[in-house]
Amino acid sequence: MNKDDLYGAKAIADSMQTQWIGQNIRFYEKVDSTNLRAKLEAEKGAESGTLIVAECQTAGRGRRGRVWNSPHGANLYFTLILKPKFAPDKASMLTLVMALAVVRGMEQAMEAEEVVAEPVSDASEKSAFPKIKWPNDIVWNDRKVCGILTEMSVQQGVQNRISHVLIGVGINVYQQEFPPELAKKATSLETECGRRISRSKLLADIMQAFEKYYDIFREAESLAGLKKLYNQKLVNCSREVRVLDPKGEFMGIATGINDVGELCVTLADGSTIEVYAGEVSVRGICGYV
Site residues for ligand BTN per CB under 6 A: 33-35, 57, 60-63, 66, 68, 77-79, 137, 147-149, 168-170
> Would you say 110 or 171 has its CB closer to ligand BTN?
171
Residues 6+ apart with CB under 8 A from 247: none
> Would you say 87 or 244 has its CB closer to ligand BTN?
244
153: alpha, beta or left? (left if phi > 0; alpha if psi -120 to 50): beta
Q: How far is the CB of 214 from ligand BTN (least distance, A)?
A: 18
260-275 burial code (b ≥16 CB/10 A, e <16): bbbbbbeeeeeeeeeb
73: alpha, beta or left? (left if phi > 0; alpha if psi -120 to 50): left
Q: How far, in Å, CA of 75 to CA of 111, rounded?
A: 19
Q: How far is the CB of 241 from ligand BTN (least distance, A)?
A: 18
> Would you say 66 or 195 has its CB closer to ligand BTN?
66
Residues 6+ apart with CB under 8 A from 161: 88, 154, 155
Q: How far is the CB of 20 from ligand BTN (least distance, A)?
A: 21
236: alpha, beta or left? (left if phi > 0; alpha if psi -120 to 50): alpha
Q: How far is the CB of 35 from ligand BTN (least distance, A)?
A: 4
> Would you say 179 or 272 has its CB closer to ligand BTN?
179
What's the one-letter identity of residue 12? Answer: I
User: Is the bond preceding 135 in cis, omega lying within 30 degrees of 0?
Assistant: yes
> Would you say 33 or 198 has its CB closer to ligand BTN?
33
> Would you say 52 or 265 has its CB closer to ligand BTN?
52
CA-wise closest residue to 75 among 7, 165, 158: 7
Q: How far, in Å, CA of 57 to CA of 29, rounded?
A: 9
Q: How far is the CB of 159 from ligand BTN (least distance, A)?
A: 28
> Would you say 139 or 254 has its CB closer to ligand BTN?
139
Q: How far is the CB of 188 from ligand BTN (least distance, A)?
A: 14
CA-wise closest residue to 106 among 166, 177, 38, 195: 195
Residue nearest to ligand BTN (CB): 147
Q: How far is the CB of 225 from ligand BTN (least distance, A)?
A: 25
